[in-house]
């Protein structure tokens, strides 16, 4: 199949987990309010212990066990809240500016690919919405945009009380604040960036990787088989290029493709929150991308 594009063109919300019955749920979660299973016989404990020494030892053992259990639950309730991350204030403006340039370059990259621009607008938008954050992550690594963050504790909120209890005293993984992301999401981004920079991709390798990521078939496409063929062509072009430029690194092509699973682990929301939320405020990222692509 003839190349469809020229090689020169490739230069939070709270989780609703509250119990239906609030009173019952609070009783289950608060051991101090649980009814004692031995409450009716507590008035006879002294008599029973006097007549049966073994029973007294058993009662003492049970009380010690209950005290340890309550102490354990108390220590669990003192666990620190989930830590979120946001950009360091001293580098705030610089990082947002650099990330904005990466986003502009990402859209510009797509608009310069004839194989992409020939697609129906709906197909273009589907591919864009599926892959924009991954291509931005490639651009962040390629341009060496610093990801300098500071940690902030997730503030408690009444609407999350049930969810926090459900997660053992820790806010649920989807809990976040504007401009902040979870530690796990930050780790996903940083892990990919470190892997990318360790391989030191040149601009053409990065372009072929972006094309392979962009042309990923998704449900709803009018031409899914054509998109799949474009992805294979991008991968083949990357393979040929690496063999030509680095013939001694026989596994380089495979190592580059092994970064794709790391990209798949990066979610759209953390990229939006960390790099673009202060810039777009409450505007949906989809609307921003649509306007950038079609205007």
Distance of alpha carbon 271 from alpha carbon 182, whole angstroms = 11
Q: Does residue 127 sit within a domain?
A: yes
Is 281 within a domain? yes
Quick check: is 130 in a domain?
Answer: yes
Q: What are 122-145's pLDDT values in tens digits?
A: 999 999 999 999 999 999 999 999
Domain span at residue 194 reads 80-294
Q: Is 37 helix (H, G, I), strand (E, B) or coil?
A: coil
Closest Cα to residue 177, out of 285, 84, 93? 84
Give the chain's domain count: 1
Q: Is residue 43 part of a domain?
A: no
| Rounded Cα gap, residues 259 and 191, in angstroms | 10
| DSSP letter assigned to residue 118 | T
Q: How far apart are CA 119 and CA 270, in angstroms?
A: 29
- The DSSP string of 242-286 is HHHH-TT-TTHHHHHHTTHHHHHTS-HHHHIIIIIHHHHTTS-HH
Going by pLDDT thresholds of 50, 70 and 90, the confidence category of residue 278 is: confident
| Residue 70 is assigned to a structural domain of this protein | no
> Looking at per-residue confidence, does 45 or 182 come out higher?
182
Q: pLDDT tens digit string along 220-246?
A: 999 999 999 999 999 999 999 999 999
pLDDT digits (tens, 9 = 90+) for 52-96: 444 444 444 445 545 544 554 444 444 445 788 888 888 888 999
The answer to whether the pTM exceeds 0.75 is no
Closest CA to 257 of 215, 205, 219: 205
């Amino acid at each position: 199949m003839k190349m469809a594009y020229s090689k020169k063109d490739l230069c939070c919300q709270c989780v609703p987990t509250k119990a239906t019955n609030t009173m019952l749920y609070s009783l289950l979660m608060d051991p101090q309010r649980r009814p004692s299973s031995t409450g009716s016989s507590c008035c006879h404990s002294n008599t029973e212990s006097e007549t049966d020494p073994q029973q007294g030892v058993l009662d003492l053992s049970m009380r010690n066990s209950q005290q340890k259990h309550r102490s354990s639950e108390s220590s669990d309730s003192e666990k620190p809240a989930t830590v979120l991350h946001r950009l360091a204030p001293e580098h705030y403006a610089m990082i947002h500016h650099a990330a904005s340039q990466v986003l502009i370059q990402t859209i510009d990259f797509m608009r310069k690919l004839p194989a992409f621009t020939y697609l129906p607008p709906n197909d273009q938008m589907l591919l864009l919405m599926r892959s924009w954050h991954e291509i931005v992550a490639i651009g962040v690594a390629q341009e060496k945009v610093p990801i300098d963050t500071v940690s902030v504790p997730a503030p408690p909120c009444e609407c999350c009380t049930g969810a926090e209890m459900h997660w053992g005293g820790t806010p649920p993984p989807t809990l976040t604040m504007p401009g902040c992301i979870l530690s796990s999401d930050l780790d996903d981004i940083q892990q990919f960036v470190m892997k990318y920079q360790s391989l030191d991709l040149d601009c053409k390798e990065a372009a072929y990787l972006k094309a392979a990521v962009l042309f990923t078939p998704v449900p709803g496409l009018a031409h899914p088989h054509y998109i799949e063929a474009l992805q294979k062509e991008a991968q083949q072009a990357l393979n040929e290029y690496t063999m030509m430029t680095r013939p001694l690194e026989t596994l380089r092509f495979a190592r580059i493709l092994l970064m794709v699973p790391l990209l798949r682990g990066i979610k759209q929301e953390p990229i939006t929150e960390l790099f673009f939320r202060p810039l777009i405020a409450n505007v949906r990222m989809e609307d921003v991308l649509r306007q950038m692509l079609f205007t």
